[in-house]
Amino acid sequence: MESNADWGSRGGLPQAFLTPGISSFSEFLKGFAPEYLPSGRPLPGGLGSASAAGDIAPHGTTIVSIAFPGGVLLAGDRRATMGNFIAQRDIEKVFPADEFSAVGIAGSAGLAVEVVRLFQLELEHYEKIEGVTLSTDGKANRLATMIRGNLAMAMQGLAVVPLFAGYDEETGQGRIFSYDVTGGMYEEHDFYSVGSGSMFARGALKKLFRPDFTAEDAAVAAVQALYDAADDDSATGGPDLFRKIFPVVAVVTEDGYRRLPDEELSTLVESIMDARRVVPDGPRSPLR
C-alpha cells in the first residue's frame, strides 16, 4: 500500500501534525498513515478457513483476572502454540497499559502484541496531549473500539481477545473488562478468564475466590487457576520449574502497576507445586 507518511524524508512537520483536534493516536494514524493500523491492512480475498490461521500464526491462550479490595490482578501463562506445536515457552501476554491498568491478550499473538502496543500508545498520547489521564471506563472503551476494527481479521481466524484490568482512581477499586471479537465490552465482577483454557481456570476461580482476598491471596488463586487450565488444556503451559519460567502475574493498586518479580513467584509457585504433589487436583472447597 502506498504510504502518505512522508514525514521521514522531509524532516519538517507535515500539515497533519499541525492540524488541531485529535487526542487519539489511532484516529490520527487512520488519517495520516492507515497502513500502520492492524485494521488498515488489506485482507486476502474470501473468507479463509478459520482454523487455518491458527496453524500459521502463534496463539496465546489463558489469561485470568481477579479483583480484590483496593486493586486487581492479571495473570497469564507463557505458552504460545501453532496448531499442535509449541511455538514459544516464555511468551508474554500480560502488559501494563499505563500506570493504573493492565491488559492481557488471548488469540493471535502477532496481532495481539500490535494491538497492545497501539493501546499503550493511545493512552500515553491522550495523557500527553490533554494533560490528564483517561477514566478507567474511557480506557476500556478505547480498547473496545480497537478490537472492533479487527473484526474482518477475526473472521479469518486471527482473533484478538483482550482482558482489561484497571485500578479506578475515582472509586479506589479494581475493575475487570472482557471483550468479544466483535468489540463487545462487558464489565466483569470478582474474577474472569479468557482464552482456550479459560473454562478450566474459571471453574477453579469459582471455587477459590473470596471477596476479602489480599493481593497475595489473589496471586495464589491465579496461579492455581492457571495450573488447572494447563492441566486440562494442551494450549496452556504450566509453570516450568526446570527452566524457571513462571506465569506473568501483575497487580494494579493505588501504587500503580507492579509485575511480581521471579523471586517472589518462584516461592509461590513451588509451594503450590509441593501441595499438588500430595493433592494433584489442588485445594478442595467445602461441599456445603
Partner 1 sequence: MTTPFYVSPEQIMKDRAEYARKGISRGRSVAVIFYDKGIVFVGENPSRALHKISEIYDRLAFAAAGRYNEYEQLRIAGVRHADMRGYVYDRRDVTGRALANTYAQALGTMFSEGAGKPYEVELAVAEVGEAAADDQGYRITFDGQVTDIRGFQVLGGAADAVTQVLESSYEENAALETVLNAAVDALGRDGTEPRTLAPNQLEVAVLERTRTQARKFRRISENALARLLGVAGDSAGEGEGDSEDGAKNGGGDAGQTGTTNPPAAKSVPADDGDVLGAVDDILGEDGTPEES
Assess 279 for contact with partner 1 (CB under 8 A): no
- Residue 14 or 172 with smaller CB distance to partner 1: 14
Phi–psi pair at 88, nearest 5 degrees: -155, 145
Of 109-148, binders to partner 1 (CB under 8 A) are: 117-118, 121, 124-125, 128-129, 131
What cell does 251 get? Answer: 497487580
- Cβ 268 to partner 1 shortest distance, Å: 23
- Residue 54 or 96 with smaller CB distance to partner 1: 96
- Cβ 191 to partner 1 shortest distance, Å: 29
171 annotated active-site: no
Q: Give dist(CA 205, CA 198) in Å, integer.
A: 10
* DSSP H stretches of helix in the chain: 7-10, 15-18, 25-32, 50-56, 109-130, 136-148, 151-155, 198-208, 215-232, 262-278
DSSP sequence for 131-156 = SSPPPHHHHHHHHHHHHHTTHHHHHT
Of 3-62, binders to partner 1 (CB under 8 A) are: 5, 7, 10-13, 16-18, 20, 25, 28-29, 32-33, 36
Q: Would you call 254 exposed, middle or buried from its count of C-beta atoms within 10 A (0-12, 13-18, 19+)? A: exposed
- Residue 207 or 258 with smaller CB distance to partner 1: 258
Q: Would you call 238 exposed, middle or buried from its count of C-beta atoms within 10 A (0-12, 13-18, 19+)? A: buried
Catalytic residue among 61, 62, 81, 136: 61
- Cβ 95 to partner 1 shortest distance, Å: 13
- Cβ 129 to partner 1 shortest distance, Å: 6
Burial 9-37 (b: 16+ CB within 10 A, else e): eeeeeeeeeeeeebeebbbbbbebbeeeb
DSSP sequence for 23-35 = --HHHHHHHH-GG
Q: Print the binding letters for residues 198-237 with partner 1: x by CB under 8 A, - otherwise.
A: ----------------------------------------
- Cβ 100 to partner 1 shortest distance, Å: 13
Q: Strands 160-168 and 85-88: what pairing?
A: unpaired
Site residue total, partner 1 (CB under 8 A): 24
Residues annotated as part of the active site: 61
Interface residues toward partner 1, by CB under 8 A: 5, 7, 10-13, 16-18, 20, 25, 28-29, 32-33, 36, 117-118, 121, 124-125, 128-129, 131
